[in-house]
Each structure stands twice: as structure tokens, then as C-alpha cells.
Chains A and B, each alone.
Chain A
Amino acid sequence: MFAADFEYRKAGSIAEAVQLLSDNPGAKLLAGGHSLIPLMRFRLARPEVVIDIGGIANLRGINVSGDTINIGALTTHAEIAASADVQRSNGLLAEAAGGIGDPAVRNRGTIGGNLAHADPASDWATVLTALGATVSAQGPSGARTIAVSDLIEDAFATVLAENELITTVSVPVLAANQRAEYAKMAHPASFYAVVGGAVVVTMDGNRCTAASVAVGGLTPRPVKAPSVEQALSGTTLTADSIGDATARLGEDITAAGVDIIGDVYASAEFRAGVAPVEVKHALMHAIGLAHH
């Protein structure tokens, strides 16, 4: 399968990439290419101009500053999974990165490209929503910070302007009393999430004092679960209390006003049934009642 012909431009800097985006409406950014190239080969995308940002060195790399992990948009999933800094400061990030695709895909796919592509099956979208991560987006008039939970509007659609690009993803360092986990039902060939649930719980002994819960894969964009979070907060976490809390997930999906995806692999009814199970698995792992 061949992509349609396009004009190739290589950006040497963030400013040049923004300029090229402004000058070429409809142009697409090429980072690792693991979302864009398949779309172009299936001719689901036919950009006239492709702007390669893969060589912009200062879009790559990880640094931990105070209680924030800053990850350059071009950092690959493999680099995040292997980073000792990430493993130490937020183990969920490393674990989620290591569960995306397969090793060769992780060697090329980037965190910024993954978010900008906004595939409903993105592991990052769900995990980073639960973690309260933000992205920094650069446009012609400067940079702005966008919460990942606000970034994705719909399937394959973000709030980014046509001439904005994600430069950094910022994720909180987990506190000593916080546990974070992600559980997914993965498609057996692509490893894309059919349903994924991500949780962050703040613990005081066995009691949960605060919780953040997000699900993805089954909805066009990740959905936060305030009813589940509320049911967990102030509760001693046991298999029973976790089951009671996750049973409320359906209310949150209804309240979010989004459709549940059904396709040849899994019907909407099936996905809706699996979602609380994945959140429950994540919570059980988080408190050590189950193991991977």
C-alpha cells in the first residue's frame, strides 16, 4: 500500500515547525510515524504537505524537576519504559509505555504523536488523564498548557489548533502514599486497548483518601469517573468495596454523554461490561490484592 504523493518538509526547530504549519494549512506533522504512516497508507489521510519534526533534538528527552516529570513530545515509548527516572518517580508511566504495541513499535512511536493522534484506543490518553498530566503546546503566539483530559475532544480530534504542536508532556511524580495502575483488555494482534482502566489512589494505610479513575478504549475520548472516585474516597479498599465502587462506572459514562464504541472485535455491550472489570483489576493491583 502506498500513500498518496505529498510534499516533504523537514523542520529543524520548533519555531520552524510552527511556521511551516501556519504556511501550509492541512499539513500533518510526522514524528515517529506510527499513527500517521498507516493512516496515509490506507488513504484515510492525504495531506499535501508532511512536516517531519523527527530531527528536532530538544523535543526529545526526560527530566524530573521537583514533583514533575517532563517528557519531550518526541520521546519514544521504549525510552519512557526504560528510563530509570521514570521507573523511580512514576512506575505507571513506565509500565504503560512498556505495554504499547510491540518492541519495534515502541522504538519508533512517540508520546506526543500518540496524544496528538487521539486514537480512542490510546493507552497514553487514558493513563495520562488519570494521572492529571498536562501538555505544553506551542503555536505562533506562544505556548499554552492543556490538561490531557481537555486535550482530546473526540475520536482522532484534539483541541490543538492547526498550527500548534505538542512540545512537552508533564506528569506528576507519585507521592510515597500513592499507587497507580492501568489494566487493559488488549486486541491480540495490535495490542491496542479494547478497554482500559487507569487509577491513582492516595492511601492512608488501607484507607483511600483520594482517587482518580479514567477509562478509555470504549469511548471516543477517555472518560473520568467521578462517581467511582467518590465511592472510593474515604473507603477502606477491599475486593468488596472496590466492586461496589466500580459498579458505578456506567453512571459516569452516561453522564459524560459519549457513545460506547462497538466494532467487529467487540460490541458496545461487551465493552461496557468489561470496563468496570478493568478498573477493578487496576485497583486490585494498586492495593496488592492481585498481581500482574
Chain B
Amino acid sequence: MPNKVPITVTVNGRSHSAEVEPRTLLVHFLRETLNLTGTKIGCDTSQCGACVVKMNGVTVKSCTAFAVQADGAEVTTIEGLAENGNLTAVQEAFWNNHGLQCGYCTAGMIMTVTEIIERNPNPSAEEVRAGLEGNMCRCTGYNNIVRAALAAAAAGQGG
């Protein structure tokens, strides 16, 4: 019998209680326990950023956090950004600028760009690129992602 630890995590505004093995990663808890599969697992070694979510207001790589560390925390995933079906400015900008090709990195990209604009509402292209250091895209060459970020900032609301 594996040992289990009770946790309560608020995800996208809803409180979830569960018993998890201590070794359960936050990304597995989100995807497999809560069925929030928008968050992706890419490199699995905290380099690619496909698994980025927000925890207590800052972006984290959910492949490098145990679910038990999120006990009592507030987590926001890509599913939690749009309200009442209205996409955020960042999501709209990714759509309008085609800031993706295959889409695998997109959830992490949008979570990170949202934080970039929260911290700096008027970033330069260089600042956007520096902010995206930990998010890899193997399709786009980043140009449309940076365009999307700048367009979202210009729209005046980071999400």
C-alpha cells in the first residue's frame, strides 16, 4: 500500500481535496486527477516550459513540484484564464498572431506571457524574449509568439 497524503488545492478558483502519493508531481495531479489536460508535459526536466502553471501568483514548472507542495495553494492553469468563455488579451493575441504551430507549447507560453505582461505592462521584444527563456517552441521560431505578446501588451491588459 503506497502511503498517501491528504491535500487541498484551489485550482482555477475551485477547491479540490484528494489523497496523493507524496511523489505525485503537480503536473500529474492536474492532468490525471483533475483531468485538466491543457497543461502539457514536454521535456520532463524543467527546461521546456510546456508545464508552466501559476501557483500562488507566480509561474512554476509543474513537472518540478510535488503535488503535496501545492497543499493550500492557489493554482491557475490554462483552463482557468478565460472567464465566461471570454479569452484573455494574451489568448486573443496568440490566436490573432498565429503564435503557434503544433500547439504543444502554447499553454505554457500563454501562462508565461501573462506573467511577463503583469510584471512589465509595456515590454520590448527583447524583454519578451528574455522572459520566454524557459519556454521552448520547436515549430515557430518564436517570431509570432513574440508578436502575440507585444500585441497583448498593446491591447493594454495582460489577462
- Residues of chain A touching chain B, judged by Cβ–Cβ distance below 8 Å, are 1-8, 10, 30, 33-34, 37-38, 40-41, 50, 52, 54, 78, 101-105, 107-108, 189-191
Contacts and interface: CB of A to CB of B under 8 A. Distances in A.
Interface of B: 2-3, 5, 21-23, 25, 44-47, 49, 52, 58-61, 64-66, 68-69, 112, 115-116, 131, 133-135
30 contacts: A2-B25, A3-B23, A4-B23, A5-B2, A7-B3, A8-B3, A8-B66, A8-B68, A30-B66, A33-B65, A33-B66, A33-B69, A37-B64, A37-B66, A38-B45, A38-B46, A38-B64, A41-B44, A54-B69, A102-B134, A102-B135, A103-B134, A104-B49, A104-B52, A104-B59, A104-B61, A104-B112, A105-B61, A107-B58, A108-B65
A10 B70 CA distance: 12
A189 B21 CA distance: 31
B60 A104 contact: yes
Contacts of A104: 49, 52, 58-61, 112, 134
Contacts, number: 77
A30 B58 contact: no
Given A103-B112, A108-B60, A2 B65 contact: no
A101 B60 CA distance: 12
Contacts of A2: 23, 25
A102 B112 CA distance: 11
Given A30-B69, A38-B45, A102-B49, 10 more contacts: A1-B44, A5-B3, A5-B23, A7-B22, A41-B45, A102-B134, A104-B52, A108-B60, A108-B61, A189-B47
Contact of B59 (A1, A50, A103): A103
Contact of B134 (A30, A52, A105): A105
A162 to B, nearest CB: 20
A34 B45 CA distance: 10
B22 A103 contact: no
Nearest to B58: A107
Contacts of A101: 134
B127 to A, nearest CB: 11
Nearest to A82: B119
Contacts of B23: 2-6, 40
A54 B66 CA distance: 12
